[in-house]
Amino acid sequence: MANPWAGEVALVIGGERQVMRLTLGALAELEAGLASGSLVDLVARFEGGAFSTRDVLALIVAGLRGGGWRGSAADLQSADIEGGPLAAARAAAELLARAFALPEGPHERAV
């Protein structure tokens, strides 16, 4: 089960449930592989609805790798993602949001 407090997001790929997470290493790999801009630019593209399929794929790959997967973007090119491109885009946006959100609880408040 994906733990949202740990920044995890689940996605079913090829009939198997995968847990994704943007660790610091996965974020560094993601930023190094971006076609343009920085992570801040990537966040802005998602917030503005101007993200590309390349952005979605890069986030999914980074999240999978942060979750322990050892594949590459090429491995996902023909993979069946449950819910299709829309589910992949939602999962990517959720990954990005969870990576930079502070958990809110009774003793913690967002800054």
**For the chain, where are the alpha helices, taking DSSP H only?**
24-33, 39-47, 53-66, 73-76, 84-99
> Which residues touch 6 (CB under 8 Å, ≥6 apart)?
21
Q: How confident is the model at residue 3 (pLDDT cuts 50, 70, 90)?
A: confident
- Domain parsing of the chain, residue ranges: 22-99
Q: How confident is the model at residue 9 (pLDDT cuts 50, 70, 90)?
A: very high
Mean pLDDT value across residues 65-89: 92
Mean pLDDT value across residues 38-47: 90
Q: How confident is the model at residue 110 (pLDDT cuts 50, 70, 90)?
A: very low
Rounded percentage of the chain residues whose pLDDT exceeds 70: 91
- Average pLDDT over all residues of the chain: 87
* pLDDT tens digits along 29-38: 888 888 777 8
**What is the three-class DSSP state of 80?**
coil
Gap between the Cα atoms of 34 and 54, Å rounded: 9
Residue 19, pLDDT score = 96
Mean pLDDT value across residues 84-103: 90
Mean pLDDT value across residues 39-67: 92
